[in-house]
Structure 1
Amino acid sequence: MRFTKRTDREGQAYYSFDYNDPLTGKRIRLKKSEAPYITSETEAEEWAKSQDAHYEALRQANLRRTEWKSKYY
């Protein structure tokens, strides 16, 4: 997961998070409502690392599913 510091229309800074979707391989940016409001770069980095584990599990499940499909179908 990657994070970027952005500025909204009102001039307030926030952190935006995006990741590569394991199913489609495309880069997906999380909505502001899906990510917590984070004020510092260290908090953003910690939250991104915690989410990496979740998306890695999705990727591994997709690999197992694809392997099973190619083996038995």
Structure 2
Amino acid sequence: INAVKNVLGALVNGAAAVFFLFVADFDWTAVLLIAVGSAAGGPLGARLGRRLPPAALRAVIVAVGVVAILQLVLD
């Protein structure tokens, strides 16, 4: 069932990407930076996440979330 979930997620994200290609204007420099960061950060983050103890991983996730929320609220 996990494979079905992944395929459906890819289809939904692909449809959204095609939609935005025709509707939105892009800053292609930002697109490139996000793509490179995602491609590199996914595998590196997974490796780091497997090595951290569960409590430390949860703490990092909560800290990143709090920082993101504060940045959105305060800006």
TM-score of the two chains, using structure 2 as the length reference: 0.31
More strand by share: 1
More helix by share: 2
TM-score of the two chains, using structure 1 as the length reference: 0.31
